[in-house]
Amino acid sequence: MKIAGVEWQVDLGALALTLALGAVGGVLAHLAQLPLGYLLGSMVLVGVLAAFDIKPLGRRLTLPTRLRFSFVPVIGIAIGGAFTPEVARAALGWGPSLAALFLFVPVAHVMGYALYRRGGLARAEAYYSAIPGGLIESVQMGEEAGADVRVLITLQTLRLIGTIIAVPLIFLALTGHTVGSAAGTTMVGASVPLTLQDVALMIAAGLIGAQVGKYLRLPGYIITGPLLCSAALHATGLMQAIPPGWLVSVTQVILGTGLGVRFVGMDRKILIKCGKLAAVNGTFALVLAFVFAELVHLFAGEPLAAAFLAFAPGGLAEMSLVALSLNMSVIYVTAHHVLRIVLAVSFAKLGKRFI
């Protein structure tokens, strides 16, 4: 199949079935009022089916990475809508909070490495699996170092999924408020009617922003590029609206389904072993994130909830979605996760000589 001149090797029937199952899981979780329901429901249902190698109607679950990436700019465009002069002024005071990441990232990496080594992993697998950010870069560096790629992918994926599941539940337990599924619907611009000009500008921001971000080698360029374009358009007043809530919900289903299909064909013994190790490391990482958030709250005056979300070692897109759902300092949270990825990869490259 060709889309926009690009050849996609994909079973259309399997893709349609996978998306349908993801949508069912997302809708059921949303109706059950689970936190971030569309994302978690699709991820859990598709992930369980994939992990047990269940082939509905005889078809193996699938979702091309290109399709997943094509929806990620929606999050960047929505986040860009939160950029206001007030946010720009507030960003001048984020220095201490951002500086704390220079300590948080290596501490989280060393802690994860020690836990994985104690759990029986070889040095290379433990080192690259413990990198608290940059899944693709972590796997690539680990493969070059001779590590077992299956272990790297499993542990890094479980880090993302574990954090994505735990963080909304933690917020629900602490605040009593469910992380909504219609992420961002309470943001500035959500009530502004969409015009053809807004739609055209959003599409342009997504396409051009992603390409510019890739050219500039921005971390998480598929989201940061469109974010910067959207922020510029909103700051200049050329665009006032943001993506509608239903589109953000669809994006959640696509992202959740994409995470779930990563378990297709995965060795079950490796999955069980890595699951136990990832659960332990994930718990310690979240506790560490809370400690740093508390310190940032006490000494820099940042809101505790926003600081915790900024330090939680989940995926850039997924943690940004949580921030959107909570209408909580989304630019602040996203900026910290971008820097976390840069530092995680940079520190990993500096320390690989010791492995």
Express each pLDDT in 128-175 by its tens digit: 999 998 887 888 899 888 898 889 989 998 998 899 889 888 877 766
pLDDT on residue 177: 60
Contacts of 274 (CB under 8 A, 6+ apart): 151, 154, 155, 158
CB-neighbour burial class of residue 145 (10 A; exposed 0-12, middle 13-18, buried 19+): middle
Express each pLDDT in 37-59 by its tens digit: 898 899 999 999 998 889 998 99
Express each pLDDT in 55-76 by its tens digit: 998 999 999 988 988 998 998 8
CB-neighbour burial class of residue 232 (10 A; exposed 0-12, middle 13-18, buried 19+): middle
Structure tokens at 38: 């569309």
Q: Give 4's pLDDT tier (boundaries 50, 70, 90).
A: very low
**What percentage of the chain exceeds 90 in pLDDT?**
45
Residue carrying structure tokens 């940004």? 320
Q: What is the mean pLDDT of the chain?
A: 86
pLDDT exceeds 50 at position 3: no
**What percentage of the chain exceeds 70 in pLDDT?**
91
Residues for the chain: how many in total? 355
The predicted model scores a pTM of 0.81
pLDDT on residue 184: 40
Contacts of 208 (CB under 8 A, 6+ apart): 225, 229
pLDDT exceeds 80 at position 186: no
Q: Give 219's pLDDT tier (boundaries 50, 70, 90).
A: confident
